[in-house]
Chain A
Amino acid sequence: MSLTKWRGSLVRTGIAGLLAATALGCKEPYEERPDPTAAVYADFGQRIDAYVKLRDSLASNMGALDETKSQAEIAARATTLATLIQRARDSAKQGDIFTPEFATVTVTLIKTEYKQEIDSVVEQRDDAQEELPNFVPAVNMLYPTTYPLATFPATLLKLLPALPTDKIEYRIVTHYLILRDVEANLIIDVIPNAVP
Chain B
Amino acid sequence: MNTRTRIRLAVLAALWSAPLAAQQTQTTTATASLALPKRANSVRFLVIGDAGTGDKVQNETAAQMFNYYKLFPFTFAILLGDNIYGASRPQDFAKKFEQPYKALLDAKVEFNAALGNHDDPNQKFYKPFNLGGQRYRTFKKGNVRFFVLDSNYMDPEQVAWLEKELAASGSDWKIAYFHHPMYTTARRGPEIELRKILEPVFVKYGVDVVFTGHEHIYERIYPQQGIHYFVAGGSAKLRPGDTRPGKVTEVGFAEDRSFMLVEIAGNDLFFQAISRTGKTVDKGTIRRKVGAAPSTVSATKPAAKPPAKPTGTAAPRPDA
Q: Which residues of A contact B (CB under 8 A)?
A: 65-72, 74-75, 78, 118, 120-121, 124, 127-128, 131, 145-146, 148-155, 157-158, 162, 165-166, 169, 182-183, 185
Contact with A along B118-131 (1 / 0, CB 8 A): 10111001111001
B121 close to A157 (CB less than 8 A): no
- In the complex with contacts A68-B127, A71-B89, A124-B188, A182-B151 CB distance below 8 A: no
- The residue in A67, A120, A182 that gathers the most chain B C-beta atoms within 10 A of its C-beta is A67
**Binding stretch for chain A, among B16-24, B59-67, B191-199, B258-266:** B191-199
Q: What are 14 sample pairs from A and B whose C-beta atoms fall under 8 A apart?
A: A67-B126, A67-B131, A69-B126, A71-B89, A121-B193, A127-B188, A148-B117, A149-B117, A149-B121, A151-B151, A155-B197, A157-B155, A169-B153, A185-B122
B9 contacts A by Cβ under 8 Å: no
Top 7 closest pairs, chain A to chain B, by CB: A154-B154, A71-B93, A72-B90, A71-B90, A67-B127, A154-B193, A148-B118
Residue among B90, B120, B128, B132 making CB contact with A145, cutoff 8 Å: B120
CB distance from A113 to the nearest CB of B (A): 11
CB distance from B191 to the nearest CB of A (A): 7
Closest A residue to B121 using CB positions = A182
- The residue in B126, B152, B156, B193 that gathers the most chain A C-beta atoms within 10 A of its C-beta is B193
Interface of A is mostly: loop
**Interface of chain B residues 166 through 217 with chain A (CB within 8 A):** 180, 188-189, 191-194, 196-197
Closest B residue to A65 using CB positions = B125
A78 to B192 CA separation, bound complex (whole angstroms): 33
B106 contacts A by Cβ under 8 Å: no
**Chain B residues closer than 8 Å to A162, beta-carbon distance:** 155-157
CB distance from B210 to the nearest CB of A (A): 16
A75 close to B188 (CB less than 8 A): no
B86 contacts A by Cβ under 8 Å: yes
**Chain A residues closer than 8 Å to B93, beta-carbon distance:** 71
B117 close to A154 (CB less than 8 A): no
A155 to B126 CA separation, bound complex (whole angstroms): 30
B133 contacts A by Cβ under 8 Å: yes
**Chain A residues closer than 8 Å to B126, beta-carbon distance:** 67-69, 71, 74
Closest A residue to B187 using CB positions = A127
**Chain B residues closer than 8 Å to A145, beta-carbon distance:** 87-88, 120
Chain B interface extent, by class: 35 or more
Residue among A66, A71, A152, A169 making CB contact with B88, cutoff 8 Å: A71
A131 to B187 CA separation, bound complex (whole angstroms): 14
**Chain B residues closer than 8 Å to A158, beta-carbon distance:** 155-156, 197
CB distance from A167 to the nearest CB of B (A): 11
B189 close to A120 (CB less than 8 A): yes
A149 to B135 CA separation, bound complex (whole angstroms): 14
A153 close to B189 (CB less than 8 A): no
- In the complex with contacts A68-B125, A151-B117, A157-B90 CB distance below 8 A: no
**Chain B residues closer than 8 Å to A131, beta-carbon distance:** 117-118
**Chain B residues closer than 8 Å to A120, beta-carbon distance:** 189, 192
**Chain B residues closer than 8 Å to A128, beta-carbon distance:** 117
**Chain A residues closer than 8 Å to B88, beta-carbon distance:** 71, 75, 145
A162 to B126 CA separation, bound complex (whole angstroms): 26
Closest B residue to A163 using CB positions = B155
**Chain A residues closer than 8 Å to B152, beta-carbon distance:** 149, 151-152
CB distance from B117 to the nearest CB of A (A): 5
A21 to B133 CA separation, bound complex (whole angstroms): 66
B125 close to A165 (CB less than 8 A): no
- The residue in A66, A71, A118 that gathers the most chain B C-beta atoms within 10 A of its C-beta is A71
19 more A-B contacts (CB under 8 A) besides A124-B192, A158-B155, A185-B122?
A: A68-B125, A69-B126, A69-B127, A70-B90, A71-B126, A120-B189, A124-B188, A124-B193, A127-B189, A131-B118, A146-B87, A148-B117, A149-B117, A151-B180, A151-B191, A153-B193, A154-B194, A154-B197, A157-B154
**Chain A residues closer than 8 Å to B122, beta-carbon distance:** 74-75, 78, 182-183, 185
CB distance from A57 to the nearest CB of B (A): 20
**Chain A residues closer than 8 Å to B121, beta-carbon distance:** 149, 182
Closest A residue to B134 using CB positions = A166
